Structure 1
Amino acid sequence: MNSKTLRKLEYNKIISLLADHASSESGKQLCRSLLPQTELSAIEQMQEETAAAFTRIIKKGRPSFGGCVPVEASLKRLELGASLGSGELLSIGRLLDCAGQIKSYGRHETVDEFPDCLDFYFQRLEPVTRVASEIRRCILEEDVIADDASANLQKIRRSIQSFDGKIHSALNSMVNGSMRNYLQDAIVTMRGDRYCLPVKAEYRSQVKGMIHDQSSTGSTLFIEPMTVVKLNNDLMELHAKEQEEIQVILSTLSSMAAEHCEELRVDYEVLTTLDFIFARGSLAVDQNASRPVLNQEGRIYIREGRHPLLDRTKVVPTTICLGDDYDLLIVTGPNTGGKTVSLKTTGLFTLMGQAGLHIPALDRSELAVFTEVYADIGDEQSIEQSLSTFSSHMTNIVSFLKQVDEHSLVLFDELGAGTDPTEGAALAIAILTSLHRRGIRTMATTHYSELKVFALTTEGVENASCEFDVETLRPTYHLLIGIPGKSNAFAISKKLGLSDEIIEEAKTHLSDQEESFEELLSDLEHSRRTIEREQAEIRAYKEELETLRRRTKEKQEKLDAQKERIIRDANEKAERILQSAKDYADETMRNFRKFGKENISASEMEKEREKLRQRMAKTSSKVTLEKAQPKKAYKPSDFKLGTSVRVLSMNLTGTVHTLPDSRGNVEVQMGILRSKVPITDLDIIEETASYTSKQTRRTSSGKMKMGKSLTVSPEINLIGRTSDEAVALLDKYLDDAYLAHLSPVRVVHGKGTGALRNAVHQYLKRQKHVKSYRLGAFGEGDAGVTIVEFK
């Protein structure tokens, strides 16, 4: 990929973000050197690695590679037989510790976890635990060797501590004794690793010893008393032995490390690679990115892509298609409308995908593998404003037009701008036509209406526009494929306060063809908005229908379960009753045999017979399980929607929900349950049978007479009905409630889409005996209920 395109599409900023996710300096270097690849197999491997790292980070968190420090120089010295210092050995220890931690991180916790492409790297790591633990035990810090690094070092340091104690004891006795008056300060100090006393110059002759230093004024001499000279000498010898022993320890540790030079090199190489891979995975997690589907057919399909350099809380996802039904996409629309964002998103996603990086877009987004990407955006181009000139554009275009081929992606921003509009549009069409004939995937942004017409009239070329809200004077940043964009210059100017007189004058300078074309674009925009609104309503209706279908299925399943339970309970109860009757019959037979043998009187036998008859009559009433028969044979035409019926087999009442089908079956609504039953199992409930003496009046003869008030419920449930069914049921119910002097009553229609509620309200408006109606208040059912009052 050419460096100019990488810079213009701001690929370097993505690489900078990537490097920030690496832990080691070597990993950061690999990130900074990452370039887009052109071999599909290599790209797929990198994408697979990034996806595996992404998954592991989500499951286990981000591993740290801070211990991956460069050790190559130390390894070369070890191979030459040199002994390393404590700092170099510590670096080797850190590298081995890091290898151990990362190898542990890479192990699968359960047998159910599937292996991935990163297992190969984790298996190559060799922590060399023996060397790492020994370095950690012996070297505490870069210049601090542990006392127990060796038995000899521990013995020497104990002697040093003993001599330190003797020297301090001797000097402290001098400081606190008769020599105190000779001292400048009552302290013990050191000069050149030897313990001394600060003696006043005038008392030099009073203190026997070796002078090691004097103050800048000459008033103080630092004297080592003769009594501690030998002790200091012995102490210096011990310190020399200590250094010798430390060198022995470092030499031993170096020899141990030298045996594993190759493993250390592999560890460093693998850790660097894994740091690079996990930096890619971490960036994908941070950007909520997904793995693109790659192809070599030049097909691009970005699903709701978000430019990774824009504020993620404000960026609007955009969907971009290119290379399937058309190979040239012309994006139009006003300034600041998001055209350049769409252009840069397409180019940058292509570069990121070919560099093995995930892209911030929805799953199943597709990217094509191109050998080269050419972008004419201008040296000073930014997302907000274009500062490029015609000459700089053309210089850049000429530089790559001869090099492009069918495996290239070409991006133009404001093609042909910066010169005479007529000539610029003609030149732009010529350039795009040349690329289109060669089958080169191209995306261009423009203001020219001529290019919109070119896209409309040329096969394999498609228009697109960035949506703009004229009311708020703000772009929505939605890319609309297939719709040319308007410049909206007149509308924006009018919204900003330009007088109608000037705007009308401006319109007179447009040709009839230009004006009609703008009107066509306005009509297309209006049609698109209408279609989108209607599609949203259709989706809402589909969701509601799916909800109703699911609820109906659940109700049917509950009804079937209830039927099975009722039949099962009835059979069990019948079996118990029959068994009881059989037992009683056996007992009776035994009694009659006994009466015959023992000559029991006839009166006692008659009493026993009477008791038997009573018991059998009682048992018979329980055992009667025969199915009740309908009062008369009904025809399918006798059943209407809303007809009140009794289901004989279940001894439940309900209303007819559907008309009889060809087999003579109807659906009956019984409370919350709905079941399909044959009409032979139904008995129509006559309405006259439902009248009771709710109201009475006295006649002249003093007798009471029945009123025609119907016993009705104070509410009706219409949920699940169609509008026509609901109105039919409601009409009958309101008549009954009005005759029964019930007021107010509740009509339950649910919320849903509001269609059933609207049908109910339209019906109530036309009823003369309805005084008023309103939606239910809080506690009455809210908008799912209508309260009706009669006059």
Structure 2
Amino acid sequence: MNNKILNQLEFPKIKDWLQSHASNSLGKELANKLSPSMDLDEVVHWQEETDEAVTVLRLKGNVPLGGITDIRPNIKRASIGGILYASELLEISNTLYGGKQFKHFIEQLEDVEIPHLRQYADQIVPLNQLERSIKSCIDDYGNVMDGASSRLRTVRNQIRSYESRIRDQLEQYTKSKSQMLSDAIVTIRNERYVLPVKQEYRSTFGGIVHDQSSSGQTLFIEPQSVVELNNKLQEAKVEEGHEIERILKELSGLVEADATLLRQNVNLLQQVDFIVAKGKLSRQLKAAKPTMNQNGYILMRQARHPLIEDDEVVSNDVEIGQDYTAIVITGPNTGGKTVTLKMVGLCTLMAQSGLQVPAQDGCELAVFDHVFADIGDEQSIEQSLSTFSSHMSNIVNILDEVNSNSLVLFDELGAGTDPQEGAGLAMAILDYVVGRNARIIATTHYPELKAYGFNRDEVINASVEFDVTTLQPTYRLLLGVPGRSNAFDISKRLGLNDSVIEQAKSMVSDDSRSVENMISSLEDSRRKAESRFEEADQLLEDASNLHDSLNREYEQYLNQKQQYREKAKEKASKIVEKAEQDAESILKEIREMKDEAHIKEHRFIDAKKKLTDQKEQLEADTKDNQPKKKAKQTQKLLPGDEVHVLSFNQNGHIVEQVSNKEYEVQLGILKMKVPADQIEFVKREDPLNTKPMTKVKGQHHHVKPELDLRGERYEDAIQRLEKYVDEALLANFHQVSIIHGKGTGVLMKGVQKFADEHPSIKGKRFGHANEGGNGVTILELK
């Protein structure tokens, strides 16, 4: 299949659509390489894989492939002795976990016939030791943890000790000399702790000036009293860097040792993502799995062009390759002939690529060695060829390569030249291709070809229906009925004088009138058949409605039967209870006379036990029908309490009480209102165990992980941002969110520029869809 044919039939658009359904870059890569195969066994194998994905998606809704990324570059770098970054090792760990999740997911589908997907899952090797080694050293944010080694823990404890001593000394300045400071806070510049000193008090503090504000009114000074401590802090950080590098090198060596199995897992997961993407596309298209053959036979019921919107596309039945090998579609322009032509060609390419086709179940398609098409105006400006010459050059190439296992699509065959010569040429070309036993679908508006299929067994005429009443095409394909001229009918509907129409009819040849009358007769017969089909369809619908009605009545009968059974059980229970009481009374009287009657005690006990067993059995039968209890609260819920939401089977935190019967609860990233009877109290945080705090003018306050700047003036917003970043650095935040909104974009650009120039900000990005999108900038702090 050459690219020209694929482009003419719009196959690249299908590939783009398929890529959008892939979960990661691995699947997108294979989707981009998608091309039809000419091997029947391979196509059948692909179709089976796609159908398995459709089955799993229908049963489970989705396939877990989260966290999987293309780690092949990371594996390659580790294999040649390179040291991977912590984030790259985290990608490897997440991909291993994702592969393990998929493997477990498939293993749970024990009763589902999915041999191909099961084979992929079986070949995935869970490298648990490597995954644990990475997870024990690197957290979910891609940072090396303290517990990665005892030496790293010791060094970081030293760092925290130095930082605490430095802050304590600098906070003495914020208390005693706050009037000399622009703001009574401790901040960081060039990875050293400093104070924001007003310009006029520079000499008072001494030490080293590391930076100044944009206005020049504030100097960031490291007082001489903390220079030595800052030096020790920097030495400890250097040692920390060396230890982190050693840990990363060791982990990279483990990746190198498992490189072969890692590549194997990635390749398997790539195939799985590609197959699942094909399944998702099939579900969106409401497509069906085609039966594939190598006999050139095509059968599609209610087939649709996949690239036309559902509310615009018209379904058609297409069959070729058994009783006839060629379809000649005649009729006026804009009737939908070309769409039908492209639909058959595109569905063939999709099927040979392992994709399901938008048609009813039971469709059948062939695997062709070649799909040829001559569609549209392919005029070559460079060669100064006319439209006719361009088409003929393309047709010449087709005739040179066509064989019995080819599908040939001709659009407006013979157009662009004298009508009589064009019609003759069109029939000669069709005869040649039919003689090669290829499968042909051709469109034309030449009236001479309307009778082409009547004396050729291999050819069938077809047309696209035209509604004379509305003067619009219906786009329905009519096999066996050639398109007839509607000029006289249309002219009459538009008000042309009857005498003019009659004179025009008299000028038409007898042969043409005979053909038109024959076509008209065929259309009448078709309409009668369709009318009878509609009557039969209506009878079937009535029978189906009657069947549904009987089913509903039967269900109602079963429900009433169950209710009667419950009432009977209740009544029987009461009867047994009364009988037990009566029996107890009788047994008591008999026991008093047992010496006279010589009756043994154990027989009394047995009789009583039988009555008790009957009562217990009735109670057990009705126990399952009791309504389930709702959650009961043992104490009042407060904001911040951890709770369990019964309706979602998930833990969250109370945000606020909406009413006496409803609370607002935070579940992950979602906030939702939940009825009080669906909430169970779990625990309440110690009020002393709060978020990180910083000191400002002797008072403590929380540092939130986000800053909202919306609605503020530009200068005020930047000043707040500068102060907030300093506080976040002191709170040891690795990441913060700056909410600036979209608006005119001025504030967004200001935040971006500030992030680029700030020495303690190592990276920035816009928020994801669930983080606020382009209205939020995420800052990564050093």
Q: Normalised by the size of structure 2, how large is the TM-score? A: 0.65
Deviations along 1:247-280, one digit per CA (max 9) or x if unpaired, are 2332232233222111210111111111111111
The alpha-carbon distance between structure 1 residues 222 and 334, as it changes in their structure 2 partners (threshold 3 A), is closer
Deviations along 1:496-542, one digit per CA (max 9) or x if unpaired, are 34443443333233112112221221122112212332344456668
1:68 and 1:272 in contact (8 A); partners too? no
Letter in 2 for 1:138: C
Equivalent in 334, 357, 365 of residue 336 of structure 1: 334
Q: Measure how far apart 1:360 and its partner are.
A: 0.8
Q: Does 1:315 align with 2:317?
A: no
Q: Does 1:36 align with 2:36?
A: yes
1:8 and 1:379 in contact (8 A); partners too? no
Letter in 2 for 1:480: L
Q: Could you say what secondary structure the match of 1:373 adopts? A: strand
Distance 2:344 2:245 in 1: 61
The alpha-carbon distance between structure 1 residues 18 and 219, as it changes in their structure 2 partners (threshold 3 A), is closer
Aligned to 2:286: 288
Distance 2:330 2:20 in 1: 37
Letter in 1 for 2:442: A
Distance 1:175 1:540 in 2: 89
Aligned to 1:69: 69
Distance 1:164 1:433 in 2: 91
Query: Which moves more between the two structures, 52-61 or 158-167?
Result: 158-167
Aligned to 1:359: 357
Q: Measure how far apart 1:377 and its partner are.
A: 1.0
Distance 1:393 1:531 in 2: 39
Distance 1:344 1:201 in 2: 76
1:23 and 1:64 in contact (8 A); partners too? no
Distance 2:128 2:480 in 1: 64
The alpha-carbon distance between structure 1 residues 70 and 519, as it changes in their structure 2 partners (threshold 3 A), is same
1:121 and 1:274 in contact (8 A); partners too? yes
2:387 and 2:416 in contact (8 A); partners too? yes
Q: Measure how far apart 1:290 and its partner are.
A: 0.9
Equivalent in 418, 421, 427 of residue 420 of structure 1: 418
Equivalent in 483, 507, 515 of residue 509 of structure 1: 507
The size of the alignment, in residue pairs, is: 544
Q: Does 1:84 align with 2:76?
A: no
Distance 1:414 1:74 in 2: 54
The alpha-carbon distance between structure 1 residues 91 and 539, as it changes in their structure 2 partners (threshold 3 A), is closer
1:377 and 1:413 in contact (8 A); partners too? yes
Distance 2:288 2:213 in 1: 72
Letter in 2 for 1:26: L
Query: Which moves more between the two structures, 243-252 or 93-102?
Result: 243-252
Q: Does 1:140 align with 2:151?
A: no
1:96 and 1:132 in contact (8 A); partners too? yes
Distance 2:166 2:356 in 1: 69
Deviations along 1:627-685, one digit per CA (max 9) or x if unpaired, are xxxxxxxxxxxxxxxxxxxxxxxxxxxxxxxxxxxxxxxxxxxxxxxxxxxxxxxxxxx
Aligned to 2:113: 114
Distance 1:411 1:122 in 2: 42
Aligned to 1:97: 97
2:485 and 2:516 in contact (8 A); partners too? no
2:93 and 2:131 in contact (8 A); partners too? yes
The alpha-carbon distance between structure 1 residues 392 and 172, as it changes in their structure 2 partners (threshold 3 A), is same
Query: Which moves more between the two structures, 443-452 or 486-495?
Result: 486-495
Distance 2:536 2:224 in 1: 106
Aligned to 2:247: 249
The alpha-carbon distance between structure 1 residues 535 and 202, as it changes in their structure 2 partners (threshold 3 A), is closer
Q: Measure how far apart 1:28 and its partner are.
A: 1.0
Deviations along 1:146-201, one digit per CA (max 9) or x if unpaired, are 33333333333233222222212212223322x55655654434343222345566
Distance 1:57 1:22 in 2: 14
Aligned to 2:159: 160
Q: Could you say what secondary structure the match of 1:114 adopts? A: coil
Q: Measure how far apart 1:480 and its partner are.
A: 1.8
The alpha-carbon distance between structure 1 residues 174 and 550, as it changes in their structure 2 partners (threshold 3 A), is closer
Aligned to 2:604: none
Q: Does 1:47 align with 2:60?
A: no
Structure 2 unaligned spans of 5+: 380-385, 551-782
Distance 1:476 1:198 in 2: 78
Q: Could you say what secondary structure the match of 2:139 adopts? A: strand
The alpha-carbon distance between structure 1 residues 495 and 65, as it changes in their structure 2 partners (threshold 3 A), is farther
Q: Measure how far apart 1:21 and its partner are.
A: 1.0
Query: Which moves more between the two structures, 15-24 or 156-165?
Result: 156-165
Distance 1:161 1:2 in 2: 66
Q: Measure how far apart 1:372 and its partner are.
A: 0.3
Distance 1:313 1:119 in 2: 38
Q: Could you say what secondary structure the match of 2:126 adopts? A: coil
Q: Could you say what secondary structure the match of 1:144 adopts? A: coil
Q: Could you say what secondary structure the match of 2:116 adopts? A: coil
Structure 1 unaligned spans of 5+: 382-387, 553-791
Deviations along 1:746-774, one digit per CA (max 9) or x if unpaired, are xxxxxxxxxxxxxxxxxxxxxxxxxxxxx
Aligned to 1:19: 19
Identical-residue share of aligned pairs (%): 46
Distance 2:412 2:321 in 1: 21
2:285 and 2:306 in contact (8 A); partners too? yes
Distance 2:547 2:155 in 1: 89
1:86 and 1:142 in contact (8 A); partners too? no
Q: Measure how far apart 1:52 and its partner are.
A: 0.9
Q: Does 1:524 align with 2:522?
A: yes
Q: Could you say what secondary structure the match of 2:401 adopts? A: coil
Distance 2:302 2:293 in 1: 19
Aligned to 2:621: none
Deviations along 1:209-256, one digit per CA (max 9) or x if unpaired, are 445556788876554333222222222222222222222332232233
Distance 1:33 1:516 in 2: 53
The alpha-carbon distance between structure 1 residues 225 and 513, as it changes in their structure 2 partners (threshold 3 A), is closer
Distance 1:126 1:400 in 2: 49
Deviations along 1:293-319, one digit per CA (max 9) or x if unpaired, are 111111111112111111113322111
Q: Measure how far apart 1:43 and its partner are.
A: 0.7
Letter in 1 for 2:60: K
Query: Which moves more between the two structures, 506-515 or 348-357?
Result: 506-515
The alpha-carbon distance between structure 1 residues 427 and 215, as it changes in their structure 2 partners (threshold 3 A), is closer
Q: Could you say what secondary structure the match of 2:327 adopts? A: strand
Distance 1:12 1:550 in 2: 45
Distance 2:527 2:33 in 1: 47
Distance 1:204 1:455 in 2: 101
Distance 2:545 2:255 in 1: 70
Letter in 2 for 1:362: Q
Q: Measure how far apart 1:85 and its partner are.
A: 1.2
Aligned to 1:781: none
Distance 2:202 2:482 in 1: 103
Q: Does 1:188 align with 2:159?
A: no
Letter in 2 for 1:51: D
Distance 1:398 1:128 in 2: 58
Q: Measure how far apart 1:66 and its partner are.
A: 4.9
Letter in 2 for 1:240: V
1:302 and 1:365 in contact (8 A); partners too? yes
Aligned to 1:262: 260
The alpha-carbon distance between structure 1 residues 459 and 208, as it changes in their structure 2 partners (threshold 3 A), is closer
1:51 and 1:291 in contact (8 A); partners too? yes
Distance 1:169 1:424 in 2: 96
Larger radius of gyration: 1
Aligned to 1:610: none
The alpha-carbon distance between structure 1 residues 216 and 275, as it changes in their structure 2 partners (threshold 3 A), is closer
C-alpha RMSD over aligned residues: 2.9
Q: Could you say what secondary structure the match of 1:334 adopts? A: coil
Aligned to 1:597: none
The alpha-carbon distance between structure 1 residues 220 and 509, as it changes in their structure 2 partners (threshold 3 A), is same
Aligned to 1:559: none
Aligned to 2:650: none
2:452 and 2:461 in contact (8 A); partners too? no
1:447 and 1:487 in contact (8 A); partners too? no
Q: Measure how far apart 1:138 and its partner are.
A: 2.7
The alpha-carbon distance between structure 1 residues 278 and 74, as it changes in their structure 2 partners (threshold 3 A), is same
Distance 1:290 1:505 in 2: 53
Aligned to 1:398: 396
